[in-house]
């Protein structure tokens, strides 16, 4: 079972490298990483299990966060209490986005960043991604609000970007009045 200590810390240089496209069929190692990430993310959002296994809560994880520089990520979205949708996106690309920008009111977080961060990260309120599923079939997924933010956050990981890189260092709340808090 995946543990919090298995997730790379923001100081690890691999998190700032660009991940490589995945070649199908997926390796057994990649399938295991995907399943382990789904299990971790699901358990981390269930309070009793998060406490029992000492898991930091999260809804998304990119392969690079586990030291694998490949273009895929998993998002486990709790759409109502105790009910989850799993998104496995391989070689994803954002194909459209809203003009409206949003940000996380309480501040964005990341399983690789184990500290409080001041500031906001501008994100699109809605995004559409094209990607491949674990069998190599082309899929299209849409995300709004929280799910859109998770998709964009994980896409950034694939390009070697951590959310802290996107916060304006001189003015951490820059343009906040032009965006909607969620």
**Cα–Cα distance measured from residue 173 to residue 140, given in angstroms and rounded to the nearest whole number:** 33
Instruction: Specify whether 80 is catalytic.
Output: no
Task: Tell whether 11 is covered by a domain.
Answer: no
Answer yes or no: are the C-beta atoms of 18 and 159 closer than 8 Å: yes
Q: What is the pLDDT of residues 96-124, one digit of tens each?
A: 999 999 999 999 999 999 999 999 999 99
Of 61-65, 134-138, 174-178, where does mean pLDDT reach its minimum?
A: 174-178
Task: Tell whether 67 is covered by a domain.
Answer: yes
Tell me what the mean pLDDT of segment 127-142 comes to. Answer: 98
Task: Tell whether 164 is covered by a domain.
Answer: yes
Q: Domain with 112 in it: what CATH number?
A: 3.90.45.10
The angle formed by the CA atoms of residues 129, 157 and 169, to the nearest 5 degrees, is 115
Task: Tell whether 14 is covered by a domain.
Answer: no
Say what the pTM is.
Answer: 0.96
Task: Tell whether 4 is covered by a domain.
Answer: no
Confidence band, pLDDT 50/70/90 cuts, at residue 152? very high
| pLDDT score for 157 | 98
Contacts of 4 (CB under 8 A, 6+ apart): 54, 55, 56, 111
Answer yes or no: are the C-beta atoms of 150 and 126 closer than 8 Å: no
Task: Tell whether 57 is covered by a domain.
Answer: yes
Return the structure tokens found at 97: 């986005």
What is the share, in percent, of the chain residues with pLDDT greater than 70?
A: 100
**Cα–Cα distance measured from residue 157 to residue 8, given in angstroms and rounded to the nearest whole number:** 12
| pLDDT score for 182 | 94
**Cα–Cα distance measured from residue 107 to residue 94, given in angstroms and rounded to the nearest whole number:** 23
- Whose tokens are 């896409």? That residue is 155
Domain residue limits at 143: 19-181
Task: Tell whether 40 is covered by a domain.
Answer: yes
**How many domains, the chain?**
1
Task: Tell whether 158 is covered by a domain.
Answer: yes
Q: Which position among 21, 39, 145, 154 bears the catalytic label?
A: 154
């Amino acid at each position: 079972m995946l543990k919090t200590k298995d997730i790379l810390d923001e100081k690890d240089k691999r998190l700032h490298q660009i991940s490589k496209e995945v070649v199908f069929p997926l390796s057994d190692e990649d399938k295991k990483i995907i399943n382990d990430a789904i299990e971790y993310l699901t358990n981390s959002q269930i309070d009793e299990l998060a406490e029992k296994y000492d898991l930091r809560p999260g809804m998304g994880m990119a392969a690079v966060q586990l030291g694998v520089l490949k273009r895929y990520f998993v998002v486990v979205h709790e759409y109502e209490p105790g009910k989850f949708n799993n998104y496995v996106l391989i070689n994803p690309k954002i194909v459209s986005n809203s003009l409206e920008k949003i940000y996380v009111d309480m501040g964005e977080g990341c399983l690789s960043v184990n500290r409080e961060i001041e500031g906001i990260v501008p994100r699109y309120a809605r995004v559409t991604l094209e990607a491949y599923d674990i069998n190599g079939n082309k899929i299209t997924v849409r995300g709004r609000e929280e799910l859109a933010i998770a998709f964009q956050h994980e896409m950034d990981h694939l390009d070697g970007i951590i959310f802290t890189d996107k916060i304006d260092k001189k003015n951490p709340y820059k343009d906040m009045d032009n965006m909607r808090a969620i």
